Amino acid sequence: KEYRRQRQMCIRDRTKLVSAFKTERKPDEPVLDWYSRMKIASNAAKGLWYLHDKANPSVIYRDLKSANILLDNDNNAKLSDYGLAKLAGKDKTNIVPTRVMGNYGYSAPEYVRTGNLTLKSDVYSFGVVLLELITGRRAIDTTRPHDEQNLVSWVYTPLIWT
């Protein structure tokens, strides 16, 4: 497929990211439907699976976020921006503490706390992207009330108390 006119993942109701530039979504342009959202999630998961299980040595992506998922005109997703990627060790971890990189809201708490990088760090980031796809909300949204700004905390809190 041709990815010359790649679009970054549009999962929010009001905005759409095109290449590296933020532009407003046109009023007549529909929000992504459920099938498209799940197709994007599936393609991103396959890309992560390839990096973790098929690549030799395994690759820890370290910067999985919605802005790094490119879409073609048929909403086929591809991972992009491997600038922060690291090779995993033989046991598929990178135990040596590294400088914490990535975006707040997508980084796994244990990675932020210790600097120890594993494949699970990418899985956490994928979970955040999946929450974005399901809810239509951003990982971090400072326009919301304080207790709703972090998507993971906002989703997790009701689960604890129910």
The DSSP result for 64-87, as a single string, is --GGGEEE-TT--EEE---TT-EE
Whose tokens are 């009001």? That residue is: 14
- The C-alpha atoms of residue 110 and residue 156 are separated, in whole angstroms, by 17
Structure tokens at 112: 């932020």
Q: Choose among 88, 73, 82: nearest CA to 39.
A: 73
The reply to whether 74 belongs to the active site is no
Q: At 60, give phi and psi (nearest 5°).
A: -95, 115
Catalytic pick among 28, 53, 63, 81: 63
Q: Exposed e or buried b for every residue in 9-42, given b needs 16+ CB within 10 A?
A: bbbbeeebbeeeeeeebeeeeeebeeebbebbbe
Q: Cite the active site residues.
A: 63
